[in-house]
Structure 1
Amino acid sequence: MSTAEQIKVIARWQSASGAIGRVLSIIAELRPKSLAEPGCLGYEVYMGVDTPGSLLLLESYRDKAALEAHRQSEHYQSLVVKRALPLLKDRRVEFLREQDLA
C-alpha cells in the first residue's frame, strides 16, 4: 500500500459549555468501531491542555474510499452526525495526503 494514497484527517472539535463529558463518551464509543473498519489505520484523541473542551482527533485511512466508507457507516452517522455535532460549538476538519518530496 502506498502512503501517498492514505488520507489523514485532522478534526478539531470545541465542545459547547458543559458538554465535554458527553462528547468524550461518544468518542469512546466511536473510536473502537472506527478502528474495526478494514480501512481505518489509526484513530487518536487528544484534549487541549490550555483550552477546556478542545479536542483534536487524528485519523488515518487506507485511501479515499476507506474514508468515505467511514463517513457513511452507521456508527459515524448515529454517533457523530446525530449525537456529537449538536454538542459542538465549533468543528474544523482537514483532509491531508502525505507529500512525497523525493
Structure 2
Amino acid sequence: MENQNPVHVFATWKVKEGQIENVLHLLKTVHKESIKEDGNLFYKIHQSNSDRNTIVLFEGYKDESSIAEHRNSKHFQDLVLGKIVPLLENREIVLTTPIEY
C-alpha cells in the first residue's frame, strides 16, 4: 500500500563550475510552479555556506502520490530534468518520512 504520510525530500545538487547563477535563475521558476501544486507543502532552496556551488532543496509533499505528480509535472520535466540536471556535477535525493513524537 502506498504511504499516505507526508514525505520530505532532501536533494543535494553539486553545480558545475560557472553555472550556479543559471541554476538559481531556473530554480526561481521551479519554486514558483512547485508551490502551486496541490500536494506541495513547501519548497525551500538553500545554498551551502561553505561551497557556493552546492544547492540543497528541502521539499514537502502530502504523500507519495504528490511526489509522483511533481516529478511528472511540465516544469519538473522541462526545467529540472531538461535544463538544470545537465548543469550539475552530482545530484543526490533522499526521501524521508517525518517522525512525530
Same fold by TM-score, threshold 0.5 exceeded?
yes
SS of the aligned residue for 1:82 comes to helix
Which residue is equivalent to 1:9?
Answer: 9
Which residue is equivalent to 1:19?
Answer: 19
Q: What letter is aligned with 2:87? A: L
* C-alpha distance in structure 2 between counterparts of 1:44 and 1:100, whole Å: 21
Alpha-carbon deviations, 1:5-31, whole Å to 9, x = none? 000000001100000000001100100
| 2:49 paired with 1:81 | no
Amino-acid identity (%): 28
* C-alpha distance in structure 2 between counterparts of 1:100 and 1:76, whole Å: 30
Q: What letter is aligned with 2:44? A: E
Which residue is equivalent to 2:43?
Answer: 43
* C-alpha distance in structure 2 between counterparts of 1:7 and 1:32, whole Å: 20
TM-score, normalization: structure 2?
0.93
Q: What letter is aligned with 1:75? A: H
Alpha-carbon deviations, 1:28-87, whole Å to 9, x = none? 010010000000000001101111211110000000000100000011000000000000
Would you say how many aligned residue pairs link Structure 1 and Structure 2?
Answer: 98
* C-alpha distance in structure 2 between counterparts of 1:18 and 1:5, whole Å: 39
Which residue is equivalent to 1:34?
Answer: 34
Which residue is equivalent to 1:71?
Answer: 71
Deviation at 1:88, TM superposition (A): 0.2
SS of the aligned residue for 1:27 comes to helix
